[in-house]
Amino acid sequence: MTEIDERLRASLSADDEAFLDGLDRERTLFAQLGETFKGPMRNWTIVANVAAIIAAVIGVWCVWRMIEAETTRGLILWAAAGWAAWTVQITVKQWILQRMQMLGILRELKRLELRLARLEP
């Protein structure tokens, strides 16, 4: 075993071992979503979720107004506004899903790092 391997093995703490054991369990979708509300991007995730809810409400309201529109111009304008609101909602949700995917990749990288550190010669 090289000196680097010995330093890596020595750097593993009990917390790292517990973390590695926890990585072996499958996570549910809601657990993955919950992880996006932790860490330095927590506030941005909250803002994104609030924006998605607001965009959904605006989209529903625009569709309702489109149905009640009395003129063709009003119908087209409300349809365009609804489309824009739903596009914003989809974009924000896509950002959240990409964040979940990035956290999953970081989790797998940490798993590989810890497993490499535990390798026997």
pLDDT band at 36 (very low <50, low <70, confident <90, very high): confident
**pLDDT value of residue 21:** 60
Nearest to 79 by CA among 97, 61, 95, 99: 61
Structural domain total, the chain: 1
- Give the pLDDT confidence of 109-121 residue by residue, as tens digits: 888 888 787 776 5
- Give the pLDDT confidence of 45-99 residue by residue, as tens digits: 999 999 999 999 999 999 999 999 999 999 999 999 999 999 999 999 999 999 9
Is 80 exceeded by the pLDDT of residue 43? Answer: yes
For residue 79 the two structure tokens come to 């349809």
Range(s) of the domain holding residue 44: 3-118
Three-state DSSP state, 26: coil
pTM value is 0.67
